[in-house]
């Protein structure tokens, strides 16, 4: 099981949104109050004036920093590369998920660790 499966299990219908290619999901410096699970499509994360970038694929989660830091500001931009379906999780639902399913926190950390390792491997090339 991964973090997206837990998010999906806790989601209600209104928490799934569709976005078109090119849509800015969030921008650098904006306040953040939710994280996202990518159900379908591809999203590009960029930071440091687009010097850094990462592609998020279906099955991945992103934007979790917004839920663990008070008064969080987004560090970079997230833009849909293809038509996307996103599962949106707010702080209240996040805290509920961690309380009711502590493995969710482990799954989320595992997902973030995997992405960081992939980024590190890409920068060595």
Report whether 59 contacts 26 (CB < 8 A): no
CA nearest 33: which of 90, 92, 87? 90
Written as tens digits, the pLDDT of the chain (125 aa) is 578 887 877 776 568 999 999 999 999 999 999 999 999 999 999 987 767 889 999 989 999 888 887 788 898 999 999 999 999 999 888 888 889 888 888 888 888 888 888 776 665 54
Over its C-alpha atoms, the chain yields an Rg (Å, rounded) of 14
Structural domains in the chain (count):
1
Domain of 30, CATH number, reads 2.60.120.10
Q: Which domain holds residue 66?
A: 3-124
Q: Is 23 left (phi over 0), alpha (psi -120 to 50) or beta?
A: beta
């Amino acid at each position: 099981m991964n973090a997206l499966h837990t998010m999906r299990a806790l989601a209600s219908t209104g928490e799934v949104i569709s976005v078109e290619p090119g849509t800015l999901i969030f921008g650098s410096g904006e306040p953040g109050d939710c994280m996202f699970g990518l159900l379908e499509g591809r999203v590009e994360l960029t930071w440091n004036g687009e010097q850094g970038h990462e592609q998020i694929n279906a099955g991945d989660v992103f934007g979790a920093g917004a839920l663990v830091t008070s008064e969080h500001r987004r560090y970079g931009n997230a833009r849909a590369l293809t038509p996307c379906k996103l599962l949106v999780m707010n702080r209240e639902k996040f805290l509920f998920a961690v309380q009711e399913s502590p493995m969710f926190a482990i799954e989320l950390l595992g997902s973030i660790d995997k992405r960081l390792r992939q980024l590190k491997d890409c920068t060595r090339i």
